Structure 1
Amino acid sequence: MYKKLQYFFALPTAGGIILMICALLGLIIANSPLSESYFLMLNSYLAGLSILHWINDALMAIFFLYVGLELKREFLVGELATNSQRILPGLAALAGLAVPAMIYYYLNKGDSAALNGWAIPTATDIAFALGILALLGSRVPLSLKVFLTALAIIDDLAAIIIIAVFYTQDLNLLYLVGAFVSILALIFLNFKKITAPHFYLFFGAILWFMVLKSGIHATLAGVTLALTIPLNNVPLNAKNEPPLIAWEHGLSNWVSFLIIPIFGFANAGVSFAGLELSMLAHPVVLGVALGLFFGKQIGIFGIVYLGEKLGLFKRPNGATWLQVYGVALLCGIGFTMSLFISMLAFISPELQDLSKIGVFIGSFLSGGLGYMILRLHPEAK
């Protein structure tokens, strides 16, 4: 039994499977006799914050710390280290952000409250998308996996910028100054090539508190902390790893098997009580679902196709157009990041639930069709 568990958790798809199970469990409980206890637990307070806020503001700050570490590594020594490596996934990511946003805007332009959710269908869930590619194995060329990884990372960076710029509340100047001082302390540690993690954790915790109180979303503290963790020209640990790589490896399992599943369980719980089929035609549901399913594939596949036809760049080496289209579809799996943005975009529980339904529909259609196309594509000989 123990060896079977070890084998399962070593699978590249394990995190995505656990996330799906936890999200489904949250959805089932929210529509069961236990629903009252479920929502009561999430809305109960601990140390001044509700349990849901602790999950979305504190645990997700650790998730964004992990994302930030991954971003920094990829931009300095990874798949995005040069401008030539950045141009195709960068343009594809931007197109995959713009088209879903335009679809959502067009469908919701008459409702100012609903319009605030324009960014929900712009996100790609990197864990789910890469997990599906892992299931497909050698059917998908390595160049496409690299392309999807780079695109999803740039997509995450765009999501971070969107959260910072468009979903920031009223600012508190005093706490902003405190956050700035904390950042200076972290930069000083990096400049002095100090690698002891407890110093970074101490000032990172202060930064999180200051950002939380400042009106900027607290998860951005995680990204900021990540950018100060040293990578190059510093002493290595016993495993011959620089601090940034050690942090990334240390957080990987916690994020994949605890933080993201807890987030999925807490945020996927949509009560269908009173839901009517006519609500599926609500502009918020349609905007999110169509934005993820159609917007992502049109934007990403369109920019790659036009770029090659115009001679600006070539599609990933060894990939057919059908495979590129299949990967573009997988980018419509918004799940984690889309659910997170929906919590920031809407105050109204009704709009939050409608947007979540759109995320479920758009992500399911994108992932299902993308997998089928890539699975049925003939293997290269």
Structure 2
Amino acid sequence: MGRLSLPERTFVADALRTETVGGVLLLVAAVAALIWANTPVRESYESVRDFHLGPAALGLNLSVEHWAADGLLAVFFFVAGIELKRELVAGDLRDPRAAALPVVAALCGMVMPALVYTLVGVTGGGSLAGWAVPTATDIAFALAVLAVLGTSLPSALRAFLLTLAVVDDLFAILIIAVFFTDDLDFAALGGAVVGLAVFWLLLRKGVRGWYVYVPLALVVWGLMYNSGIHATVAGVAMGLMLRCTPRVDEGEEHSPGEQVEHLVRPLSSGLAVPLFALFSAGVAVSGGALGEVFTQPETLGVVLGLVVGKAVGIFGGTWLTARFTSASLSDDLAWPDVFAVASLAGIGFTVSLLIGELAFADDPALSDGVKAAVLTGSLIATVLSGVLLKLRNARYRKLWEAEERDEDLSGVPDVYEQDDPAYHLRMAEIYERKAAEHRRLAEVTGGAGVGHDGPA
């Protein structure tokens, strides 16, 4: 877990910048939903959320809440699919040795919360249907917390958090596809598969134009929804099909996947996910409801899974990987840093809310309780990780400033140029110019104000 390569660092910085803005919007949407659902105008929230629209003949006469969960989140998972594809072919995950640490950490960070929930459910006699709820991490919300705290995490920790979230999203969609599919409509599923094949073939042939792909994507999404498999699977499948390596020999600077992601990510982070939060996070919160979060085994399991399971799972997975493989921690970082980021990963919002709706679709009261538990667990994880990150914030800022320093104004941080002879020549010229200015100043002032050590 050391300094990233310059191209990877640039990609991570751009991706996280957009996710941070989206995370702030997500935070605002969640707060707005809670206020709207806990004021005298609560009935208007429910009427808007439950309002149905769409063509019934196509099986798509859905409520606004379902359009947000099944439709808008397909955009979110489409971007997640592109991210995953890029990591697999051009990012850190293409090297099995480099991928081992975040992959193992992400897996442990999903298994441990599920075990914690199951243990609480078994001992408390509760339903085990929600075991997958605390397994997800919300990267946008986590980055929004970092933005609010003003924590300047070094690139290694930010990349670790982003890669965790990418792997987390992959396994979350697998969980949704495998465990939350009841009755399959094989005709619709076959149509969706044919649509995906056409999508892939058009990409292979180099066909361009949004007017070709957007209608096809809508058809694939509609067929996937009617097949019984959660419609977001269509989004991640199409994202994985995009080519994410540029053809340099053809003068291509950016791959189609990078170009599409650049265009769609703001739509995902700035519109799709916040709207989902607006119509999913609106649960009635009262003193009694919050008390029930810690008394019901299902809701307590979600809270403990997010707060304890995530932190212990990710930290333990990282430590075990470093202990028994060649993976290692950067000299600039310490194990408390890993634990702080692991605690931050306990903020499970978007996908956790989605899985909670799917797991308890037949029990609206328990579904609302699980949503309240997700909010409570995410809040506790936010406070805990915020305290831990603040304790190390001074150290993070020094590392971040060292990574960003560009004294020769070349546009490339100095840490990436230190092995370049041209860099040392530029720096020598800069220091000589400063020394000359210092000597001229000394001549004008007669040496007044000049330190014994000369120019800094």
Query: Is the shorter-chain TM-score for this pair beyond 0.5, marking a shared fold?
Result: yes
Aligned residue identity for 1:58? G
Where 2:181 maps in the other structure, the secondary structure is: coil
In 1, Cα distance between equivalents of 2:213 and 2:292 = 51
1:106 aligns with 2:119: yes
Aligned residue identity for 1:153? V
What's 1:74 paired with? Answer: 87
Residue pair 1:211, 1:221 contacting (<8 A) in 2 also: yes
Residue pair 2:19, 2:269 contacting (<8 A) in 1 also: no
Where 1:262 maps in the other structure, the secondary structure is: helix
In 2, Cα distance between equivalents of 1:237 and 1:288 = 51
Structure-2 change in CA distance of 1:270 and 1:237 (3 Å)? farther
Measured after TM superposition, the shift of residue 195 of structure 1 is 3.0
Q: Give % identity.
A: 40
What's 2:131 paired with? Answer: 118
What's 1:320 paired with? Answer: 334
Where 2:207 maps in the other structure, the secondary structure is: coil
Question: What does 1:248-287 correspond to in 2, within 5 Å?
Answer: 248-272=261-285, 275=289, 277-287=291-301
What's 1:356 paired with? Answer: 371
Deviation track 1:129-152 (CA, whole Å, cap 9, x = no partner) reads 234445666753321111111111
Measured after TM superposition, the shift of residue 194 of structure 1 is 2.2
Question: What does 1:54-65 correspond to in 2, within 5 Å?
Answer: 54-65=67-78
Question: What does 1:152-301 correspond to in 2, within 5 Å?
Answer: 152-232=165-245, 240-272=253-285, 275=289, 277-301=291-315
Residue pair 1:12, 1:134 contacting (<8 A) in 2 also: no
In 2, Cα distance between equivalents of 1:155 and 1:111 = 28
Aligned residue identity for 1:300? I
Question: What does 1:370-381 correspond to in 2, within 5 Å?
Answer: 370-377=385-392, 378-379=394-395
Unaligned runs of 5+ in 1: 1-9
Normalising by structure 2, what TM-score?
A: 0.76
In 2, Cα distance between equivalents of 1:344 and 1:20 = 22
In 2, Cα distance between equivalents of 1:276 and 1:231 = 45
Residue pair 1:193, 1:234 contacting (<8 A) in 2 also: no
Where 1:109 maps in the other structure, the secondary structure is: helix
Residue pair 1:195, 1:235 contacting (<8 A) in 2 also: no
1:335 aligns with 2:380: no
What's 2:420 paired with? Answer: none
What's 2:7 paired with? Answer: none
In 2, Cα distance between equivalents of 1:60 and 1:12 = 15
Structure-2 change in CA distance of 1:272 and 1:375 (3 Å)? closer
Where 1:379 maps in the other structure, the secondary structure is: helix
What's 2:418 paired with? Answer: none
Output the aligned Cα RMSD. 2.5
Where 2:137 maps in the other structure, the secondary structure is: coil
What's 1:17 paired with? Answer: 24
Where 1:275 maps in the other structure, the secondary structure is: helix
Residue pair 1:69, 1:227 contacting (<8 A) in 2 also: yes
Normalising by structure 1, what TM-score?
A: 0.90
Where 1:80 maps in the other structure, the secondary structure is: helix
Where 2:93 maps in the other structure, the secondary structure is: coil
Where 2:127 maps in the other structure, the secondary structure is: helix
Deviates further, 330-339 or 184-193: 184-193
Structure-2 change in CA distance of 1:198 and 1:374 (3 Å)? same
Deviates further, 206-215 or 279-288: 279-288
Pick aligned residue for 2:316 from 302, 309, 324: 302
Structure-2 change in CA distance of 1:131 and 1:85 (3 Å)? farther
Number of residue pairs matched?
Answer: 372
Residue pair 1:195, 1:230 contacting (<8 A) in 2 also: no
Where 1:281 maps in the other structure, the secondary structure is: coil
Aligned residue identity for 2:337? Q
Measured after TM superposition, the shift of residue 81 of structure 1 is 2.1
Measured after TM superposition, the shift of residue 338 of structure 1 is 0.7
In 1, Cα distance between equivalents of 2:180 and 2:151 = 40
What's 1:143 paired with? Answer: 156
Deviation track 1:78-105 (CA, whole Å, cap 9, x = no partner) reads 2322111210000000100011000101
Aligned residue identity for 1:335? F
Deviates further, 66-75 or 194-203: 194-203
Aligned residue identity for 2:367? Q
What's 2:103 paired with? Answer: 90
Measured after TM superposition, the shift of residue 209 of structure 1 is 0.8
Of structures 1 and 2, the one scoring higher in RCO (CA 8 A, sep 6+) is: 1
Deviates further, 21-30 or 94-103: 21-30
Q: Which protein has the larger Cα radius of gyration, Structure 1 or Structure 2?
A: 2
1:130 aligns with 2:143: yes
Aligned residue identity for 2:376? I
In 2, Cα distance between equivalents of 1:271 and 1:160 = 28
Pick aligned residue for 1:45 from 43, 52, 69: 52
Aligned residue identity for 1:321? W
In 1, Cα distance between equivalents of 2:64 and 2:284 = 18
Structure-2 change in CA distance of 1:234 and 1:365 (3 Å)? same
